[in-house]
Amino acid sequence: MTTLITGVGLIGTSFARFALDREERLVFVDSEPRTDYLREQLGDANVSIVRRDIRDLPALIQTMRDFEVDTVVHTAGLIGARVAEALYTGLQINVQGTINVAEAVRLSGVRRLVHVSTFGVYDRTKEGDVPITEDFPLGGSNPYSASKVANELMVSTYHHHYGFELVILRPANVYGVGHFWAGSGGGATVQQIIEAGISGEMLRMPPTRDFEYVYAKDVGSAINQAATVPAPEQIAFNVGSGVITTFGDLVEAAKTALPRLSIEPTEGGSPTPAIRQPMDLSASASHLNWKPQFPLEKGFQDYAQELGSR
């Protein structure tokens, strides 16, 4: 059995660790694969790397056919403000790239597509006081969210029209040892905090907005479940912690894991309103047999150990 992963990034490599434990054959597709990061994440694991852009449909089809791919895990794309830096290009990568992945899955006879979306697809203007389930209204209030909503609509349409298996995952703000080339501001901020805790140097930064966080290893295990469980009737699933974390919570958890940490809040911060509702994880538990294993303090401790060893 072979799984193709689009994107040599934090989420794809976190899943790859679980797939390798199952002795799955893996092939990464990335236009600019960071082989040093891949080596840091997976060591000397025997994986294939194909240097191709997801906007190149013929290359995707050829790769899936050459490697006789059974499952595709789609993680590639730009995140956050990176989408808006050059909007046409950002949407080409995120939306057209995803359409190409779905079309290549169809034409290559791939059994299952696991599409990694985001909790950013939810329309937060409609927030209430209870955890958000997967049937909560979607809405794209910025280019990134709009592209991810569009992606979910596209892959769902392909699934219903052509019949391949589909699982959509909506992770919260993912943190873990990464290179953050794609634009994960939240992930880069957490890594700054962990690095400061390891070094003991004072970190001056504006407060972050309230967020729901999830550790990359938990996301990796969720993808692994999505790729291997019998095809669930439900398509979309929340992947988070079920907890909203304030900046104060974030700092306290980091100080517990890293007592040398010293942070001085500065003026500024995100103008985006804080989110109030965490995600409901009950569907992921019942259909994917998945629950997060890393509460924030435990995640930070593991993160610091891994980052420090590098």
Residue-wise pLDDT for 199-232, tens only, equals: 999 999 998 889 899 999 999 999 999 999 999 9
- The 10s digit of each residue's pLDDT in 300-309 is 999 999 988 8
Nearest to 75 by CA among 169, 158, 187: 169
Beta bridge partners of 25: 2
Backbone angles phi, psi at 71, to 5 degrees: -135, 140
Distance CA 236, CA 8 (A): 23
DSSP state of 122: B
Q: Quick one: pLDDT band at residue 194, thresholds 50, 70, 90?
A: very high
Residues 188/215, Cβ–Cβ less than 8 Å? no
What span, in angstroms and rounded, lies between the C-alpha atoms of 176 and 270?
Answer: 21
List 122, 144, 175, 215, catalytic entry: 144
Q: Could you tell me the domains of the chain?
A: 2-174+216-240+277-292 (3.40.50.720)
Contact indicator for 114, 227 with CB cutoff of 8 Å:
yes
Q: Which of 62, 143, 77 is nearest to 116 (CA)?
A: 77
Give the Cα separation of 300 and 303 in Å (integer). Answer: 5
Question: Does the annotation count 144 as an active-site position?
Answer: yes
pTM, entire model: 0.95
- pLDDT, residue 52, reads 96
